[in-house]
Copies of this chain bind each other. A is one copy, B any other.
Amino acid sequence: MPNTMQNLLAKNTALLVVDVQKGLNDPSLGNRNNPHAEKNIALLLAAWRQKDWPVVHVKHCSVEPDSLLRPGLPGNEIQTEAQPAPGEAVFSKTTNSAFIGTDLENFLHKEKIESLVVVGLTTDHCISTSVRMAANLGFDVILVSDATATHDRTGHDGVRYTAEQIHQVNLISLNGEFCQMAETQSLLQELN
């Protein structure tokens, strides 16, 4: 990471809001960590809008038969805290990566956006995949650790890990290699 956070936060730094959809809070997905993620995302959205910096939304539109995030189902709807405002770009995707099967990469280049602040759900699936691919495509990425969350998961060997363990280890694997890490309040302070 050659740049300091202050260098990355500029007029053309986009807030990329990934998959903050109702279906990802369905009880069937099990225990989730960080209940404050949505509140933090709302604070960051308000800050970006106040500065008139770019906000880009990504919405998962699953094509899998049993997914809660299929278009038309209530779980596909974006949560209240992350509703797109008029004029903000919204990209629909069918895979974990915000960059596969979407025009997001072209859009960012066209808008001369070179750095991204990433928030959304879930830490280890769509967030990790999108952060990795954004970095490998040449974007500078800040991931807001307390504006993302995930669920308890069980491995192929039957060992169960808590959502918080999964979340923390996934952040460690991204940190430095693919992104810088920030927390909502420190990021808001940098913005002011």
| Copies of this chain per assembly | 2
Q: Is A165 an interface residue when CB atoms closer than 8 A count as contact? A: yes
Contacts of A165 in B (CB 8 A): 169
Chain A contact residue count (CB 8 A cutoff):
34
The one of B125, B133, B159, B172 in contact with A97, judged by C-beta atoms closer than 8 angstroms, is: B133
Are A173 and B177 within 8 A (Cβ)?
A: no
Q: Tell me the nearest residue of chain B to A137, going by C-beta.
A: B100
Contact with B along A121-150 (1 / 0, CB 8 A): 000110011001101110000000100000
Are B166 and A169 within 8 A (Cβ)?
A: yes
Q: Is A20 an interface residue when CB atoms closer than 8 A count as contact? A: no
Contacts of A132 in B (CB 8 A): 96-97, 128-129, 132-133
Within the complex, what minimum Cβ distance (angstroms) separates A95 from chain B? 4
The one of B97, B145, B169, B177 in contact with A170, judged by C-beta atoms closer than 8 angstroms, is: B169
CA distance A169 to B137 in the complex (A): 25
The one of B161, B173, B178 in contact with A172, judged by C-beta atoms closer than 8 angstroms, is: B161
